[in-house]
């Protein structure tokens, strides 16, 4: 899908309930901050009680890549239903629910430029599928209480709206999810569990587009409605997962479970936040720390630093963006910069960007840092033609104008660990074409998990999948000729 969709998805995510029939009542829903601490404690107590019944770690096959001029996203393959059918879903840590396009869907994509075959989930074709009604526990829990006007025959419906105007709507179903259980070094076997997920009945905007189309989105957020929270609640897994996004070869590693190698230094998550927010302390360009206002890293509502694998680029409020860009180009005063599509800063440069531009290091609480190299925050669109992956969040969304959002641009080529058991997140630079080691909770054995690539990165480079980027390329060529 277009970069623009993933740019804004984490700035605005609204989940609403709309009853069937003539009623137009809409309930806006946020994460259940009020009860989340009690819920997390309940998860932990439940896990301790069922510790002996935990499955091994889970290995999710991964595809795609984070290059902005290619797919700009990563996706996984999961199995749903009985008999099982495979679906390709974008991995998104910035949202909570899993949803897939369903049979009879309005405006669902029929083909994808990613080279994968799309499928429609049909509840009637799965012997283990059950529709979720509005009076069931999942629905009342998700919407923080009884649904007004609910009757036993009404379905539990959902609507997710994204910041670019795209939206998905449908109803919840409960069915088997089939995943790969790690059983040995680079070995897996199929295992299943029951989860509730969205059956997409209507898509709008770019969700119906062919470019980079997928079967749905797999939300790996913290809410109880996410797949990992549901599996943990049933004693299947721990609420720990990790990804290593390989931007060099495509695909990478995505595993659920305790990672024992490599070792990862962590920083605490900001409590009671909808996303994976962390405490940023400073930004260093080259060897110089940016002089920024003291409140710029506040973690109040609509502020803070979000880690989001569902976003391609990285976003900063104007008070950070301007001095950051100024410092990056300080040594290249003769470059001719072009603003393309009112958001991309692009230029022509025939040298090695790692020699000509500074590194950017983000510093977080508990002495965790993240260094981003020029070849990572600059992306090439053609020979000697580059654009900057940093974006001004104020220019993208009024709701997210004060947010710092770090997407795949800075997460790629690193092992990123999300430990919801201890409410921490961490990372380390890593070769995502190699392997990691995870622990089997039942036996204590340690197994190696290797990378996957569900799609060819080289083929994605040949097919430029976004009209936005095609326009960007043509505009830059025109600018360089003038």
Q: Report, as residue numbers or ranges, the catalytic residues.
A: 92, 308
Structure tokens at 280: 């940023």
| Radius of gyration for the alpha carbons in the chain, expressed in angstroms and rounded | 22
C-alpha span between 375 and 410 (Å, rounded) = 11
Strands 98-106 and 58-65: unpaired
Minimal CA–CA distance to 406: which of 360, 449, 354? 360
Cβ-contact 240, 254 below 8 angstroms? no
Beta-carbon neighbour count of residue 183 at 10 Å?
Answer: 16
Cβ-contact 64, 251 below 8 angstroms? yes
Q: What is the DSSP letter of 121?
A: B
Cis amide bond preceding 378, omega within 30: no
Cβ-contact 211, 464 below 8 angstroms? no
Q: What is the DSSP letter of 124?
A: G
Minimal CA–CA distance to 61: which of 73, 50, 49, 75? 75
Structure tokens at 397: 């969304």
Beta strands in 66-121 (DSSP E): 73-80, 85-92, 98-106
C-alpha span between 78 and 88 (Å, rounded) = 7
C-alpha span between 245 and 467 (Å, rounded) = 24
> What are the counts of helices (DSSP H) followed by strands (DSSP E) for the chain?
11, 32
- The neighbouring-strand residues paired with 378 are 388
- The H or E element that residue 418 is part of is strand 414-419
- The neighbouring-strand residues paired with 255 are 59, 242
C-alpha span between 22 and 407 (Å, rounded) = 40
Structure tokens at 243: 């990804």
């Amino acid at each position: 899908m277009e970069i623009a969709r993933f740019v804004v998805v984490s700035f605005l995510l609204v989940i609403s309930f709309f009853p069937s029939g003539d009623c137009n009542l809409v309930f806006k829903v946020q994460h259940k901050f009020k009860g989340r601490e009690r819920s997390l404690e309940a998860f932990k107590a439940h896990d301790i009680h069922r510790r002996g019944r935990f499955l091994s770690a889970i290995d999710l096959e991964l595809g795609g890549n984070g290059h902005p001029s290619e797919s700009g996203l990563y996706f996984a393959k999961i199995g749903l239903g009985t008999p099982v059918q495979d679906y390709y879903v974008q991995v998104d840590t910035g949202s909570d629910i899993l949803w897939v396009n369903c049979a009879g869907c309005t405006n669902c994509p029929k083909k994808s430029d990613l080279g994968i075959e799309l499928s429609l989930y049909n509840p009637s074709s799965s012997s283990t599928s059950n529709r979720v009604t509005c009076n069931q526990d999942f629905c009342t829990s998700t919407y923080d209480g009884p649904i007004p006007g609910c009757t036993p025959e009404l379905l539990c419906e959902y609507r997710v709206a994204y910041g670019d105007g795209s939206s998905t709507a449908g109803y919840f179903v409960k069915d088997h999810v089939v995943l790969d259980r790690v059983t040995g070094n680079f070995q897996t076997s199929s295992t299943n569990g029951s989860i509730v997920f969205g059956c997409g009945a209507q898509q709008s905007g770019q969700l119906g587009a062919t470019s980079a189309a997928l079967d749905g989105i797999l939300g790996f957020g913290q809410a109880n409605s996410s797949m990992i929270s549901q599996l943990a609640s049933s004693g299947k897994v721990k609420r720990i997962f990790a990804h290593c996004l390989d931007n060099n070869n495509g695909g990478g590693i995505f595993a659920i479970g305790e990672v024992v190698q490599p070792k990862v230094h962590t920083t605490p998550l900001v409590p009671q936040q909808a996303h994976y927010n962390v405490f940023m302390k400073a930004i260093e360009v080259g060897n110089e720390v940016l002089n920024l206002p003291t409140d710029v890293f506040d973690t109040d509502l609509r502020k803070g630093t979000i880690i989001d694998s569902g976003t391609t680029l990285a976003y900063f409020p104007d008070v950070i963006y301007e001095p950051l860009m100024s410092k990056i180009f300080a040594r290249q005063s003769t470059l001719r910069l072009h603003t393309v599509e009112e958001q991309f800063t692009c230029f022509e440069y025939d040298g090695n960007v790692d020699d000509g531009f500074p590194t950017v290091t983000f510093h977080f609480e508990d002495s965790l840092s993240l260094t981003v190299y020029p070849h990572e925050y600059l992306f090439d669109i053609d020979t000697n033609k580059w654009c900057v992956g940093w974006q001004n969040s104020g220019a993208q969304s009024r709701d997210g104008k004060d947010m710092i959002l770090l997407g795949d641009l800075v997460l790629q080529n690193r092992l990123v660990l999300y430990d919801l058991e201890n409410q921490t997140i961490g990372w380390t630079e890593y070769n995502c074409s190699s392997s990691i080691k995870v622990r089997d909770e039942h036996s204590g054995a340690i197994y190696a998990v290797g990378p996957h690539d569900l799609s060819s990165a080289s083929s994605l480079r040949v097919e430029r999948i976004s009209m936005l980027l095609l326009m960007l390329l043509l505009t830059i060529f025109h600018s360089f000729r003038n």
